[in-house]
Amino acid sequence: MVSASISGGSPSNDTARWLATIGDDLAAKLTQAGFGDFIPRRESATLGASLKTYIEGREAEVTPGTIANFRQLERKLVEYFGADRDLRTITEGDADDWRQHLAKTYAEASISKYIKRARQVFKSATRKVLIERNPVVDVRGGSESNDSRKHFISRDITEKVLEACPDAEWRLIVALAGYGGVRTPSETLGLRLNDVDWANDRFTVTSPKTKKQGKPWRVVPLFPELRPYFEDAAELAPKDAEFFINRYRSKNANLRAQFNRILKRAGVTPWPRLFQNLRASRETELANEYPLHVVTAWLGNTPSVAAKHYLQITDGHFAQASAQDASTGGATGGAIKCELGAQQGVLSVSHRDGQQVTKLRPTSEVTSASAVFANVFDADRVTPTGLELLHEKSEKTKGSLPKRTECGALLAQQTLIDADLRDVVAAWRTFPETTKVAVLSIVRGARTHSAKGSDP
């Protein structure tokens, strides 16, 4: 610094980085010694002030719920380190100790969320050159999934709760979560009367959570079990009302407390994460009937998020598995493979010039988006559920696709299906998502080459 001061130049890069990390006391002494011009502009580097600045700066770009989460982090950090703690003095070891402190009180999933948000705060401090290194960057986060808080709510329980609701608005709140998979309260309170397309059996959900991901809204089927609650709320809505839910729009309205009172009236024991588990239960039900990419589009998440945080194993799955015929060659075995087709694709078997040809087609090529919506309301009208056996010379399949109950019997008749393909179909559910994508890419690529007349 002395040579730089004499020559009128700048200190080396290493010296500049060091000057950015020194404490306020040393900075004051260097300034008094005549080196103040080399010290970067020093914003407040105390933990409390830095957290306050960071959170206020994020308010314009994230949801109020996210801000509330950062406020929780602020309390945890300040409680442990103190508001006046200099950021530059918090080391990697200090961050490890903080995590161990959290572990005494919180579950792994909660700890992971605190660590994730703390990384963001300290990363911002490094970008502002308030600190040289993020002390939380290598702290073990852990899984944010907590299976112990998952709880499947059956239809019987949901109906029991609906009967105990005090008015049409509360019935719609519960039905939207349990039958529509809508987030509560953010998406539920945002539903407007003109968001429902009654003629086409669907409604539009405005989603603050996915807005920052470029998906401010999504379209959801007006499921038959949900429609009556929409109709009642619309009929009883105040004159000139804009929203379906009007009585509980105040920021002071505590839906969780009121819901607990409803559960008590219904004689139902409260479950963890009241509204989220209703939504997760609905996603689990839908995933048993429709392709996962369709279900997640309706509910506003992704297949990976659904698998990690929403989809559950139910008693019904065990009952279905224990009731299946051990043989995969009969009608029951075929039905199992039909279910597999509903999730991932359609197996088509046809005859060309006396030869049997078998191919796997993605479900999306058989069923359009409109057909999937239609299938919600009329299962017999569209059947994208199963391994559909298409015989070019069969009069039976010229007019319509076989139903699920026919699928197993038809599959049992096919003795010439390639054994390797049968193994792929049987194991499809166990494949990781990346493997499924790779297989489908190969199949689609082969079809493209074949259509152009070249070798696949």
pLDDT digits (tens, 9 = 90+) for 389-399: 444 444 444 44
* Predicted local distance difference test score (pLDDT) of residue 426: 76
Tell me: do 98 and 224 sit in the same domain: no
Q: Which of 59-73, 214-228, 322-336 has the lowest mean pLDDT?
A: 322-336
Who has greater pLDDT, 180 or 39?
180
Task: State residue 99 phi and psi, 5-degree precision.
Answer: -60, -45
Vertex 183 angle, CA 169 and 178, to 5°: 65
Same domain, 272 and 420: no
If one counts the domains in the chain, the total is 4
Domain contains 130? yes
Three-class SS of residue 202? strand
What pLDDT score was predicted for residue 14? 77
Q: Would the pLDDT of 448 be above 50?
A: yes
Q: Is the pLDDT of residue 159 over 60?
A: yes
Same domain, 357 and 425: yes
Pair (188, 89) in one structural domain: no
Residue 210 has a pLDDT of 84
Looking at the structure, do residues 177 and 295 belong to the same domain, yes or no? yes
Separation of CA 140 from chain center: 23
33, 123: one domain: no
pLDDT at 417: 59
Q: What is the pLDDT of residue 432?
A: 76
Strand partners, 204: 219
| Average pLDDT score over the chain | 78
CA–CA distance, 284 with 387 (Å, rounded to integer):
22
Question: Domain range spanning residue 29?
Answer: 2-38
Query: Is the predicted pLDDT of residue 256 greater than 50, yes or no?
Result: yes
Predicted confidence (pLDDT) per residue in 193-246, tens digit: 999 999 999 999 999 888 878 889 999 999 999 999 999 999 999 989 999 999
* Residue pLDDT, tens place only, 80-126: 999 999 998 899 999 999 999 999 998 888 898 999 999 999 999 98
The segment with the largest mean pLDDT, out of 65-69, 191-195, 324-328, is 191-195
What is the average pLDDT across 408-434? 65
Give me 346's structure tokens.
């359609």
d(CA 100, CA 216): 38
pLDDT of residue 284: 95
Residues 332-375: pLDDT tens digits? 444 444 444 444 444 433 333 434 444 444 444 444 566 667 66
Q: What percent of the chain has pLDDT over 70?
A: 70
Residue 130: CATH number of its domain: 1.10.150.130
pLDDT at 22 (0 to 100): 66
Asked whether the beta carbons of 411 and 371 are under 8 A apart, the reply is: no
The confidence band for 42, taking pLDDT boundaries of 50, 70 and 90, is low
| 126 and 176 assigned to the same domain | no
319: exposed, middle or buried (Cβ count in 10 Å: 0-12, 13-18, 19+): exposed
CA distance 160 to 273: 18
- Residues 136 and 115: beta-carbon distance below 8 Å: yes
Q: Is residue 432 part of a domain?
A: yes
Q: Is residue 456 part of a domain?
A: no
